[in-house]
Amino acid sequence: MVNVFLERLKCLFVNLFLGITFATAILFCVSCTEKNKIEGLTVEYTENYICVDTKEPRFGWRMKSDNNSRCIFQTAYQIEVIDEDGNNVWNSGKIESDQSQNIIYNGETLLPKTRYDWTVTVWNNIGEELTGKSWFETSLMSSNDIDGWNGAKWIGGSDDDMVLYSHYLPVFKMNLSFKMKDEAEQKKVGFIYGANDERLMDSNKNIYHIANLKDESYVKVEVDMSNALAVLNVYRVGYHNDDRADKPLVAFSIQSNVINKSNATAKHTVTLYSNLGFTAFYVDGNKVGEFNLNPLGRGGDFIAFPVVGDVGFTLLSANDFSEATMDICNFRSPENRITTVVMEPEKLKSSGKDIYIENPSCNL
């Protein structure tokens, strides 16, 4: 019995040894069959790129050595590019170089919306010739938003077609332009913005527990040319318990060389930059002052007061000014105009008051 057991154990070990040897031989042979090859073919650093938008894309590849080779390197390359019709649009010819990245295309002009197949042939220092194949596709390759679009046009996006939701814009620029008539009797013009903020129409939405009715809360920028020295008056109404509609929150003198008796009826522009309430005022490009109109102080962790809100005009007589417009613009460069609000005397007359207010939000 002991001899039989030993014989069987011996057979088991022999079979195990042969199995391990056979498996090792197979793995060894598999590793031996892995040859040097070309991989990682890229155009503009992307494999099989489907949106090449440059006329001179850059080609690249990698040479991978087998597991037993060392010190293998490229000595020359050749690139060929074929279009969809099988035409050779670029053949670099054999170039003696070890460069394998940032090879700039130097063939016929690439066409838009076209697939190209390309092949790179590499020669290495042990006399091998290796080949890699890939493809890429060109985009519309339009630099002017016209070519390649078959007459299609963008929807919106111009300076005259921008999005504005005025009650969510706390950082903005405004150009307030006006032209007074020669025969004007009332030489004051007022521009309204920041009106009807819903936070000021509900006592539960502001820390001062104010609840204004419609058109009872606003900021008014008024140019007063009644006296020898013109004045820029800024009113804040309905934002704080101390606000008054008949008393400016702040007033700035306008230099006599900017607005005076001789040019009073010329066109003038008040520009204001409002950054979370902190506002700088300019008249015809000359800075006249700055002030923080935000009753909460200065801070950027909330939607500050005032936002653009509802806007409008206030005049004692709609016939004293031939024009008055408000350009609402982006605060930051290039300060694109978002929309323009034009004074319409008929609206003043129909309101029965010296003020009218409207919502300038557009393209929503």
Say what the pLDDT of residue 12 is: 55
Say what the pLDDT of residue 26 is: 46
Number of compact structural domains in the chain: 2
Domain containing residue 236: 166-358
pLDDT in tens, 260-305: 989 999 999 999 999 999 999 999 999 999 999 999 887 666 678 9
Question: With bands split at pLDDT 50, 70 and 90, how would you rate the model's confidence at 7?
Answer: low
Q: Are residues 205 and 125 in the same domain?
A: no
pLDDT in tens, 325-348: 999 999 988 888 898 999 887 776
Of the listed ranges 204-208, 234-238, 248-252, the least confidently predicted one is: 204-208
Look up tokens 């809100």; give the residue: 309
Say what the pLDDT of residue 31 is: 43
pLDDT in tens, 116-161: 999 999 999 999 999 999 999 999 887 766 667 777 776 655 555 6
Residue 309 in this model has a pLDDT that exceeds 60: yes
Average pLDDT along the chain = 86
Instruction: Kindly list the strands in the beta sheet with 250-253, ordered across the sheet, starting from the edge strand earlier in the chain.
Output: 250-253, 231-237, 218-224, 188-195, 310-314, 355-358
Q: Are residues 234 and 94 in the same domain?
A: no
Is residue 74 within 8 A of residue 112, CB to CB? The reply is no
Residue 151 placed within a domain: no
Residue 306 in this model has a pLDDT that exceeds 80: yes
For the chain, first and last CA: distance in Å? 96
Q: Using the 3D structure, point to which of 137, 157, 192 is the last residue of a domain.
A: 137
Look up tokens 């040894």; give the residue: 17
Residue 64 placed within a domain: yes
